[in-house]
Amino acid sequence: MKTIIILGSTGSIGTNTLDIVQRFPEEFRVVGLTAGGNIEKLEEQIRAFKPKAVAVSTESSAAALRQRCASLPVEILAGEEGIAQVAAMPGAELVISAIVGAAGLVPTLAAIRSGKHIALANKEPMVMAGKLMQEEARKHGVRIFPVDSEHSAIFQSLEGHRIEDVRRLILTASGGALWTLTEKQLQDVTPERALQHPNWKMGSKITIDSATLMNKGLEVVEARWLFDIRESRIDVLIHRESIIHSLVEYEDRSMIAQLGLPDMRTPISYAMRYPERMPLDLPSLDLTEVGKLTFCKPDHDRFPCLNLGYESLRIGGTLPAAMNAANEVAVDAFLNGGIRFIEIAEVIRSTMDAHAHRDITCLDDALEADRWAREKAESLVHALPR
């Protein structure tokens, strides 16, 4: 039986992971969970899966959860330190890293340093400090298994092949909720409209990232560090149907792709049971029913965030961390009505232009870049005309 910890258990990836655990109770045992502030759902998970320890983001949430779970044998911790403590707790083999945003960096790194393998659904840690993450993984004999559907597809398409034979990686993108809109129409997009993703059910932050194509910019950075391939050999292709999840082109110009209906339980289960696969009770892909698959190039004028991802990677150092922080601030401001959709990219662009990047030699370098960029982006948001 494999023992697991789930960081971000109440979100989309976390709940899908627990669905798999529930389907295969003889294979997996949950020993630790962490969440933000959704203590109602976390309480349900504690009662159902009986972890040894859990952690939430604030002491007030922890106090409320302790009261609700007073009769249960579970340790309840709080704050960044408590979440990192659960991530590194002994007795677990695999950590599912699914905390949204930069908040996932510290606990994921703590899990790596404690010798646990990682199923990585949270792309931001690799964006912020990919080189450091991989160095620590090598030092501690840890494997990082990608859970993002695109990176899982690449991982699967690389299996059994030599990395030196790869010509390029091709990440596919759905284009998000706003792909068909004109530049003029994008100026008046509401959060409600941007959250209407055509294919995937995801949290609000990643759904907006999909709409701006920043999600793909972040994934380019993540792919560079996951697969040790330069950004010049990573391409992006718009594929509206979300059936081909990504492709690998080899030197002989042959391509290998991974296909399937859009359901995150497939890449999650592959990371959980690697190298074996699970007999999931999911619908099969019927290509005759799909009919056709379409592809087009990204539109960098309407959706400039993708280029920002490439730029941050070319310059390197702390710039990807600063870009990511600015994006988190800008997306939050958009969702709360503070800025317009088209101003998300403007805030990120201005923050990157103002950032004095440097090399990342330790965790504090990434965290300081994140802190600085948040302050800068917030000042830019407040300076925009309402």
Mean pLDDT, the chain, whole residue set? 96
Is 80 exceeded by the pLDDT of residue 200? no
> Can you give the pLDDT at residue 222?
97
Dist CA 281 CA 23 (whole Å): 9
Dist CA 119 CA 260 (whole Å): 20
Whose CA is closest to 346, among 299, 300, 304?
304
For the record, the structure tokens of 302 come out as 């309407």
- pLDDT digit string, tens, across residues 207-243: 999 999 999 999 999 999 999 999 999 999 999 999 9
Per DSSP bridges, beta strands 75-78 and 53-56 are parallel
In this prediction, residues 191-219 reach a mean pLDDT of 91
pTM of the predicted structure, to 2 decimals: 0.94
Residues across the chain? 386
* Cβ proximity of 164 and 141 under 8 Å: no
* Cβ proximity of 56 and 39 under 8 Å: yes
Confidence class of residue 385 from pLDDT cuts 50, 70 and 90? confident
For the record, the structure tokens of 78 come out as 């709080």
* Cβ proximity of 265 and 280 under 8 Å: yes
- pLDDT digit string, tens, across residues 171-184: 999 999 999 999 99
Is 80 exceeded by the pLDDT of residue 102? yes
Domain boundaries, the chain: 2-146, 163-261+287-383
> Can you give the pLDDT at residue 386?
73
Is 80 exceeded by the pLDDT of residue 201? no
Is 90 exceeded by the pLDDT of residue 245? yes
Is 90 exceeded by the pLDDT of residue 351? yes
In this prediction, residues 35-54 reach a mean pLDDT of 96
> Can you give the pLDDT at residue 41?
97
Task: Assign domain 163-261+287-383 one CATH number from 1.10.10.10, 3.40.50.720, 3.30.70.250, 1.10.1740.10.
Answer: 1.10.1740.10
Dist CA 278 CA 281 (whole Å): 9
> Can you give the pLDDT at residue 37?
87
Whose CA is closest to 29, among 44, 43, 45, 49?
49
- pLDDT digit string, tens, across residues 9-21: 999 999 999 999 9
> Can you give the pLDDT at residue 174?
93
Is 80 exceeded by the pLDDT of residue 366? yes
* Cβ proximity of 28 and 272 under 8 Å: yes
> Can you give the pLDDT at residue 159?
96
Domain 2-146 in CATH 3.40.50.1100: no
> Can you give the pLDDT at residue 369?
98
Is 80 exceeded by the pLDDT of residue 111? yes
In this prediction, residues 334-344 reach a mean pLDDT of 96
For the record, the structure tokens of 90 come out as 């002994």
Is 90 exceeded by the pLDDT of residue 323? yes
Is 90 exceeded by the pLDDT of residue 294? yes
| Separation in Å, CA 136 to CA 89, 116, 354, 361, 362 | 17, 11, 30, 12, 11
Is 90 exceeded by the pLDDT of residue 198? no
Three-class SS string for the chain?
A: CEEEEEECCCCHHHHHHHHHHHHCCCCEEEEEEECCCCHHHHHHHHHHHCCCEEEECCHHHHHHHHHHCCCCCCEEEEHHHHHHHHHCCCCCCEEEECCCCHHHHHHHHHHHHCCCEEEECCCHHHHHHHHHHHHHHHHCCCCEEECCHHHHHHHHHHCCCCHHHEEEEEEEECCCCCCCCCHHHHCCCCHHHHCCCCCCCCCHHHHHHHHHCHHHHHHHHHHHHHHCCCHHHEEEEECCCCCEEEEEEECCCCEEEEECCCCCHHHHHHHHHCCCCCCCCCCCCCHHHHCCCCCECCCCCCCCHHHHHHHHHHHCCCHHHHHHHHHHHHHHHHHCCCCCCCHHHHHHHHHHHHCCCCCCCCHHHHHHHHHHHHHHHHHHHHHCCC
